[in-house]
Amino acid sequence: MSHADPFERSPDNQPPPLEGYDAIASDAALLDAIRAQAPEGGGAEILASLRELGTAAGSAEAREHGRLANAHPPVLRTADRFGLRIDEVEFHPSWHWMLRTGVGLGLAGAAWTSDEPDAHLRRAAGFVAWTGIEPGHACPMTMTYAAVPALAADPAQAARWTALLASATYDPGLREPTGKAGLLAGMGMTEKQGGSDVRTNSTVATARSSGDYTLRGHKWFTSAPMNDLFFVLAQAPGGLSCFVVPRVRPDGSRNAVRIVRLKDKLGNRSNASAELEFEDAHAVRLGEEGRGVRTIIEMVAATRLDCVLGSAALMRRAVAEASWHAAHRSAFGSVLIEKPAMSGVIADLALESEGATMLALRLAHSVDRRTDPHEIALRRIALPLAKFWVCKRTPPVCVEAMECLGGNGYVEESGMPLLVRESPLNSIWEGSGNVNALDVLRAATRSPDAVQAWRDEVALAGAAALDAAAESVVDELRAAAADPVTGEGRARRIAARMAVVLQGSLLARHSPSYVADAFLASRVEGGDRGVFGALPPSVGPTDTAAIVRRALPHP
């Protein structure tokens, strides 16, 4: 599809479908985010390597498979026709198409074994462009990506599983895992009685003379139960420990992992999330007994990064659909996108999306420099604050973007309801808002170098408004540390402010001035952000129009 005039209207005043284009090459904000974090070459190699992904992400085929994967959710089969327990989940062929393509494009664990200097940045950009089409299948890719760093706790386990988890081959079906061409991983932490308080877990691990363990207990919420391996927490004699639980035992028999039921969720419906029970399930310990949380924390950090990336992906898709619709539909005498009220809304949404994208790719760049002291300190505080803020901003962005399409947006075939249903998930998964906000306070208290790394990043912009905002945040952190009782109540405000200030610094350094100035005026210096489309008067019509043009896909 080619549209020389992005504002071209059809005779029936209906916009053409947003498909048949390169979802990366046509996205100015994403391109700038890639170039900002790429090495001196300006990201040319990364962009060249993403050309196939961008074309696939913008294709009509991908859009249709995404629709079908959600229209036909997974089905649990606990037993075969003879009554034998099988505990399998059946998926629509479009689910397998999405995963085969995503894994094949390197969006699962491949970055960990890549020779590319910026493999995690490349993956992050591809993840943002690809998963907005169909977010559910991102879950097994994310957990597989996150499993690899957790394996570092045990060199023997890492040697056994890393290459298979980093494979670009999607190999579904329950078979002995070491005989497959590629593996997907899952995670089981939460239980009925504890939720995020995993130290109250009651699943029991019993050591065997062979050196492995058996697990008996339950997991309240485990996504992608058809994955090959699960990283789970259980109470061993030495305390809460981490274990690798395969779905198929080394002898080829089914492991005693029972799927009690699939969760009936608000969104993420293409992906199966299950309640599991272990009935003396075979398991191998990962790391030392009693150090389960410390062992699995690397997996948690990586999944939090993907929560930020996934939320940025939803925002980008929502803003693209809204701006595309408004550019191709007329009302009251002119095209919608030229109406000041609509232009103001879309520009405001685009600012939120671009800030999220720039921050998400900055964090991915940090993962490419895992041993750099500044990056280590920055990740310690920037991951939870980004997880808190970006994921929490996604629902209002998606809802407002849906409204830009009017009644058309409320209809399933527009794709907007899927985005709205999906939008709250990443804020809940891997620690809700309170958990992440408190993690920010904990990092600030225990690691002063983390706060300094954040301040150093903000200062790179050389903007007086950002420097003043940073000082104000530091004052709040001191007050919170002085009185922990009231300090906990400040956590969400502090985390939100730190995220916005860091976004502002990144945009001031790497985005056009009309974007950065509007972001600072509306979010750093501005007041109430309760409604989109209420940009301050300093953001004039020319700047608003430029922001909107930047957000509009140009196939």
496-520 exposure pattern, b = at least 16 Cβ within 10 A, e = fewer: bbbbbbbbbbbbbebbbebbbbbbb
- pLDDT, residue 1, reads 40
Of 284, 419, 434, the C-alpha closest to 353 is 419
Q: How far is 442 from 542, CA to CA, in rounded Å?
A: 43
Reading the chain (555 residues) residue by residue, the pLDDT tens digits are 444 455 566 778 899 999 999 999 999 999 999 999 997 767 899 999 999 999 999 999 999 999 999 999 999 999 999 999 999 999 999 999 999 999 999 999 999 999 998 999 999 999 999 999 999 999 999 999 999 999 999 999 999 999 999 999 999 999 999 999 999 999 998 898 877 888 889 999 999 998 899 999 999 999 899 999 999 999 999 999 999 999 999 999 999 999 999 999 999 999 999 999 999 999 999 999 999 999 998 899 999 999 999 999 999 999 999 999 999 999 999 999 999 999 999 999 999 999 999 999 999 999 999 999 999 999 999 999 999 999 999 999 999 999 999 999 999 999 999 999 999 999 999 889 999 999 999 999 999 999 999 999 999 999 999 999 999 999 999 999 999 888 899 999 999 999 999 999 999 999 999 999 999 999 999 866 678 998 999 999 999 999 999 999 987
Angle at 212 between CA 208 and CA 215, to 5 degrees: 80
d(CA 443, CA 439): 6
| Amino acid symbol at 323 | S
DSSP codes, 460-515? TT--HHHHHHHHHHHHHHHHHHH-HHHHHHHHHHHHHHHHHHHHHHHHHHHS-HHH
Q: Which amino acid is at 277?
A: E
Q: Using an 8 Å Cβ cutoff, are 340 and 541 in contact?
A: yes
Which pLDDT does position 4 carry in this prediction?
43
Question: What domains appear along the chain, each with residue ranges and CATH number?
Answer: 294-551 (1.20.140.10)
Residue closest to 24 by CA, chosen among 230, 302, 262, 316 = 316
Q: Is there a contact between 50 and 122 (Cβ–Cβ < 8 Å)? A: yes
* pLDDT attached to residue 3: 44
Q: What is the pLDDT of residue 6?
A: 53
The 3-state DSSP composition of the chain as helix, strand, coil percent (nearest 5) reads 55, 15, 30
